[in-house]
């Protein structure tokens, strides 16, 4: 048994709190969670049953926290966790779970299975059992500042284009700005239109904002792989930059897990509350609209539907703002049957999109979204997560579907009444 594996088991043991103990005590192995998981519903492979993915954690808990486990262990009837358990479960824990949280919404005894899988990743990553793609992304995030290797120079190049196209000056490192905006690397590289939209909307609303040269990256690979130290370091960079600039609000971009990382997990990772608040871009836009600081004109009569990013909606609680905003610019907005907190994941969250090994399974799981779209008969899907957007576009292309995926923020910017509103 290697030292690294032992450290991983120790970390796994440290995750067993009252929540996990109550979950493992309550689970009656009904398997209903399987029906909520797109990796099971699209493959019918029982191994993808969410609660089955927590088996290594359950094995450890049983051996050390239950009467029969302790008895069996002392009599040599129960085998301790081995490296082969970790090796066998690595793909289940990382490739076939997007941490979407849908299983946690249907468990009859209320188990937050996603929370347990997220915690298992802590032990697995310390033990070295994590996908290479995610390890590399985390390494790049720590050393370069972005999982995709984007540096601030790349950001500056993207901002120069935005400034040229909009005629607006993008504020960098502005002291005491009200809002500090983060971006995901994917937005900087693949969707600079998002940055342009933000610039136009904030200008129209008279928002005092800035981008930090020290912490522009919103994503957090440490959360996805389950490396607490890496996750804390990445959150810490944002906190240091925001508090240094005297920022009131940090704006989480159209990225699902970035919101979970900075909004919900961040303070717990660094061990203290922030001196600022975190707001998701959709919450902010909804607020600006409600206050009359942004005015929208014209309604799109194209039939549209909304893909809810799991970490923003189900795991993040930003449920109504995207609907309010989309209704204000779309005449024919129709919900999918399963929507809001019961939406189906794109299949690429929780680091799955950074895990090349999982690609085939991910594309197979996209059958669920394909079915949802076909059932609805709508060819324009609005979303608010750059990762969802890429994954959805890949899935649509793979299935040769003629569906357009657009960003909600970008859609709003298209309907923006230009000209500043008094602050």
Residues at the interface with other proteins (CB under 8 A):
16-23, 25-32, 34-36, 40-41, 46-47, 49, 51-52, 65-68, 102, 104-112, 115, 263-268, 271-273, 277-278, 314-317, 319, 338, 341-342
Work out how close the CB of 272 gets to other proteins at its nearest, in angstroms, rounded to a whole number.
Answer: 6
Distance (Å, whole) CA 250 – CA 179: 6
Which residue, 319 or 406, has its beta carbon nearer to other proteins?
Answer: 319
**Complete DSSP assignment for 55-85:** HHHHHHHHHHHSHHHHHHHHTT-SPPP-HHH
Nearer to other proteins, 356 or 374 (CB): 374
The candidate with the shortest Cα–Cα distance to 92, out of 135, 130, 64, is 130
Q: For other proteins, which is the closer residue by CB, 30 or 290? A: 30
CB of 336 to other proteins, least distance (A): 12
Provide the minimum distance between the beta carbon of 243 and other proteins in the complex, in angstroms, as a whole number. Answer: 15
Q: Nearer Cβ to other proteins, position 200 or 263? A: 263
> CB of residue 15 vs other proteins: minimum separation in angstroms?
10
Min dist CB 274 to other proteins, Å, is 8
Q: Closest separation between CB of residue 331 and other proteins, Å?
A: 27
What is the closest distance, in whole angstroms, from the C-beta atom of residue 393 to other proteins in the complex?
25
Q: Indicate the residue among 85 and 300 with the shorter CB distance to other proteins.
A: 85
Ramachandran assignment for 31, one of left (phi > 0), alpha (psi -120 to 50 degrees), beta (any other): left
Separation in Å, CA 71 to CA 66, 309, 412: 8, 45, 62
> Which among 335, 336, 315 has a CA at the least distance from the CA of 327?
335
Q: If we measure between CA atoms, which residue out of 381, 213, 181 comes closest to residue 281?
A: 181
> In 3D, which of 124, 144, 122 has the Cα closest to residue 227?
122
Choice between 111 and 407, CB closer to other proteins = 111
Question: Rounded to whole angstroms, how far apart are CA atoms 133 and 91?
Answer: 13
49 vs 387 by CB, closer to other proteins: 49
Give the residues across from 279 on adjacent strands.
251
Positive or negative CA dihedral for 40, 45, 49, 55? negative
Which has the closest alpha carbon to 395: 421, 423, 360? 360
């Amino acid at each position: 048994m290697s030292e690294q594996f032992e450290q991983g088991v120790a970390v796994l043991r440290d995750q067993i709190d009252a929540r996990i103990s109550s979950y493992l005590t309550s689970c009656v192995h009904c398997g209903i969670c399987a029906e909520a998981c797109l990796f099971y519903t699209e493959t019918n492979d029982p191994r993808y049953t969410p609660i089955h993915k927590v088996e290594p954690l359950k094995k450890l808990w049983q051996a050390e926290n239950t009467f029969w486990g302790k008895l069996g262990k002392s009599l040599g009837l129960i085998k301790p966790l081995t490296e082969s358990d970790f090796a066998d479960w690595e793909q289940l824990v990382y490739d076939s779970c997007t941490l979407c949280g849908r299983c946690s919404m249907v468990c009859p005894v209320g188990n937050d299975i996603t929370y347990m899988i997220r915690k298992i990743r802590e032990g697995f990553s310390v033990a070295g059992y994590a996908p290479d793609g995610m390890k590399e992304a985390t390494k790049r995030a720590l050393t370069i500042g972005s999982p995709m290797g984007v540096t601030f120079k790349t950001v500056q190049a993207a901002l120069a284009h935005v400034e040229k196209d909009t005629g607006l000056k993008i504020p960098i490192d502005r002291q005491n700005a009200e809002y500090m905006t983060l971006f995901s690397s994917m937005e900087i590289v693949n969707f600079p239109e998002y940055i342009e939209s933000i610039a136009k909307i904030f200008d129209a609303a008279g928002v005092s904002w800035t981008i930090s040269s020290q912490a522009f990256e919103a994503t957090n690979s440490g959360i996805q792989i389950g490396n607490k130290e890496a996750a804390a370091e990445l959150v810490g960079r944002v906190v240091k930059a925001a508090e240094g600039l005297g920022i009131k609000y940090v704006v989480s971009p159209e990225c699902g897990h970035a919101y979970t990382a900075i909004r919900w997990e961040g303070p717990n990772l660094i061990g203290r509350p922030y001196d600022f608040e975190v707001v998701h871009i959709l919450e902010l836009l909804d607020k600006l609209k409600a206050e009359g600081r942004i005015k929208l004109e014209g309604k799109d009569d194209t039939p549209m539907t909304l893909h809810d990013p799991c970490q923003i909606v189900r795991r993040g609680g930003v449920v109504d703002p995207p609907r309010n905003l989309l209704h204000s610019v779309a005449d024919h907005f129709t919900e999918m049957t399963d929507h809001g907190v019961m939406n189906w994941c794109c299949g690429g969250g929780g680091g799955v999109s950074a895990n090349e090994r999982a690609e085939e399974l991910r594309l197979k799981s996209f059958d669920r979204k394909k079915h949802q779209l076909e059932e609805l008969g709508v060819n324009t899907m609005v979303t608010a997560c750059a990762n969802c957007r890429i994954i959805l576009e890949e899935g649509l292309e793979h299935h040769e579907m003629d569906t357009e995926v657009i960003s909600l923020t970008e859609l709003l910017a298209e309907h923006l009444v230009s000209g500043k509103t008094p602050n």
